[in-house]
Structure 1
Amino acid sequence: MWIVTKGLDRRLSRHAPAVLSVFRIVYGLLFAAYGSRSLINWPVRSPVVVEFGSWPGWYAGLIEILAGLLVAAGLFTRTAAFIASGEMAVAYFWIHQPMALWPVADPPGGNGGALSILFCFAFFLLVFLGGGAYSIGALRGRLPLTRR
């Protein structure tokens, strides 16, 4: 079994940078889509109307759009992911967890917080992994600095 997993590890590990980028882009765009749904009813209409400047909904939507786009682009990934992860932790413990113990079902049986947990830990992972090789941040690091 060890020989099989060693060979599999060797074959798959060369694709890790590309897979990390796909992971980062998908999670970033999904997060931005949730934020834009809350603030501008796009790509689909939000079930809840969020008034301009209202706390915490409007600010959460703004964080979701900005952090999601930054993460998707791979620009300031660690900082944006840290903020996004924190927002999702706050959302879970302020909104979902007080409703019920289990996050895997919607109320009344559960608290409906599974998506908040998934976003929280996906972004927490990106805090440590960074944007990866295929990101604007990596591209910025490879470009020579211009002299003034």
Structure 2
Amino acid sequence: MQASNSLSRYAPQALAVLRIVTALIFIIHGTQKLFGFPAAPASGLPGAFTLFWFGAILEAFGGFLILIGLWTRPVAFVLAGEMAYAYWMFHAPRSIYPLLNGGDAAILYCFIFLYLVFAGAGAWSVDSRSKG
């Protein structure tokens, strides 16, 4: 019991690590679709102002805002919605099982972002600096 209590004091830093690592991986999904980096999607780059292009904008720029912890709660809310939409529109129709439909990452992102809506940015964020 005492060990878990002493670990609790690091919860803001652990939350920040979760936020930062999630954002870094999420940003890559956006840069892949927008710039072909680190590799272009198999279907090619989406056309400007298409649904996939708007998704890529959310992933790259929303991911960056999550990375630095700026407006974390509202941005995370939007990104959770984007990932829920992506799952139900593009993954779920392929199969009921996330492992088979390729949607397991979308589910994880959705719930991590939903958690950030309630938990906030944690330590090492612009949001925490603006509080004083």
> Normalising to structure 2: TM-score of the pair?
0.94
- Show the counterpart of 1:107: none
Q: Does 1:121 align with 2:121?
A: no
**Larger radius of gyration, structure 1 or 2?**
1
- What is the CA–CA distance in structure 2 between the aligned matches of 1:83 and 1:17, rounded to whole Å? 22
Q: Which amino acid aligns with 2:24?
A: L
Tell which has more relative contact order, 1 or 2 (C-alpha 8 A, sep 6+): 2
Deviations 1:8-54, CA, capped at 9 Å, x for gaps: 21121011111111110111111111101111011233222133324
- Show the counterpart of 1:62: 57
- What is the CA–CA distance in structure 2 between the aligned matches of 1:43 and 1:140, rounded to whole Å? 34
Q: Which amino acid aligns with 1:52?
A: G
Identical aligned pairs, as a percentage?
A: 37
Segments of 5+ residues of structure 2 without an aligned counterpart are none
Segments of 5+ residues of structure 1 without an aligned counterpart are 1-5, 105-109, 143-148
- Show the counterpart of 2:42: 47
Instruction: Summarize the alignment of residues 1-148 of structure 1 with structure 2, pairs less than 5 Å apart.
Output: 6-104=1-99, 110-142=100-132
- What is the CA–CA distance in structure 1 between the aligned matches of 2:49 and 2:92, rounded to whole Å? 22
C-alpha RMSD over aligned residues: 1.2
Is contact 1:38-1:48 (8 Å) kept? no
Please give the secondary structure, in 1, of the residue aligned with 2:130: helix
Please give the secondary structure, in 2, of the residue aligned with 1:141: coil
* Structure 1 or 2: more helix by fraction: 2
- What is the CA–CA distance in structure 2 between the aligned matches of 1:88 and 1:103, rounded to whole Å? 13
- Over 4 Å off, 4+ runs: none
Is contact 1:39-1:50 (8 Å) kept? yes
